[in-house]
Amino acid sequence: MTPPRAIPRERRDVLGEGLLWSARENAVYWTDILGRRVNRLRLADGRVDSWEVPGTIGWVIERADAPGFVAGLDRRVVALTLDPLTIETIADPDRDGNRMNDAKADAAGRIWFGTMALDGARPSGAFYRLDRDGGVARVDAGYRIANGPAIAEDGRTVFHTDSGERIVYRFAVAADGSLGAREVFIRFEDGWGDPDGMTLDAEGGLWIACWGAGCVTRFTPEGARDRSIALPASQISNCIFAGEALDRMFVTSASDGVDEPEAGALFEIDPGCTGTPTHLSRMRRAG
């Protein structure tokens, strides 16, 4: 297994997040929430591009039937293009003092996203579902730091995290997108860090970015801690499988509040397995 490497580029992220594998562009996108940027790494030549946006940006999801992305900007859901920069509000479902944090699309083209208080100190965040018709449903609430949705390939299970409480939850998902009861799937122990962004591998293993612990950790489908890959930065925030074979893993980190040489880097690591495909938004209105 090859050691982690930081992707060469001119700047580091204040708070890297929102990783997205774009198969149609052969590129990895990610956001710098506090740096107010969308970044792109082209796998063909290693070029990194960056676009400044007018607000905190938690996530971008590619659109299947329109140019650009659906994105979480400040507390809004927007339709976003980068060249040229255009922004159109789709929904504004949350409250003052909150912002978007992370999101994933499922195979049906719906987007699942979480919100949090700007300071992460209050349980004012919630978990939402953006449907294909542009409607937004609030499916769970009471989160300090809503984080890391991960969706099983069959669409019948969604994992969601409250990083502030150090708990990964599991929900059953009905065909109409309604959720079953919230179940505690993993409760992080001392020394594991805080669970942040997540992704699933082809065997059903859940890979979790461990904020404060400087690693990405795999958990088995039963929720047992399996193995960890150490990284040269403590604030690890998200992870995703990428590449044509989905056998490359990219990991974001944050430099906010720490003095570390590699803090805020985008890393590539060798996970020793393959991931599941990234899904697109199939929302039919706006943009």
Residue 286 clears pLDDT 70, i.e. is over it: no
Residue 164 clears pLDDT 80, i.e. is over it: yes
| Chain segment 171-222, per-residue pLDDT in tens | 999 999 999 999 999 999 999 999 999 999 999 999 999 999 999 999 999 9
| Chain segment 18-55, per-residue pLDDT in tens | 999 999 999 999 999 999 999 999 999 999 999 999 99
User: Is the CB of residue 99 less than 8 Å from the CB of residue 74?
Assistant: yes
Give residue 92's pLDDT: 95
Q: Which of 66, 69, 63 is nearest to 40 (CA)?
A: 69
Residue 166 neighbours by CB under 8 Å, 6+ apart: 187, 188, 192, 194, 195
Which pair of tokens denotes residue 261?
């040489």
Give the whole-angstrom CA distance, residue 211 versus residue 180. 28
Which residue type is seen at 204?
G
Hey, which residues are catalytic here? 196
Residue 19 neighbours by CB under 8 Å, 6+ apart: 28, 29, 30, 197, 199, 238, 239, 240, 250, 252
Tell me how far CA of residue 30 lies from CA of 35, 136, 173, 179, 259, in angstroms: 12, 23, 27, 28, 22
At residue 175's C-alpha, the angle toward residues 240 and 102, to 5°, is: 30
Q: What's the start-to-end Cα distance of the chain, in Å?
A: 43
Question: Residue 285: pLDDT band by 50, 70, 90 thresholds?
Answer: low
User: Is the CB of residue 173 less than 8 Å from the CB of residue 247?
Assistant: no
Which domains are assigned to the chain?
5-269 (2.120.10.30)
Question: Residue 280: pLDDT band by 50, 70, 90 thresholds?
Answer: very high
Question: pTM score, two decimals?
Answer: 0.97
3-state DSSP assignment of residue 129? strand
- Token look-up 């580029």 returns 9
Give residue 96's pLDDT: 87
Q: What is the residue-wise DSSP string for 195-220?
A: EEEEEEBTTSPEEEEEETTTEEEEE-
Which pair of tokens denotes residue 112?
């699942």
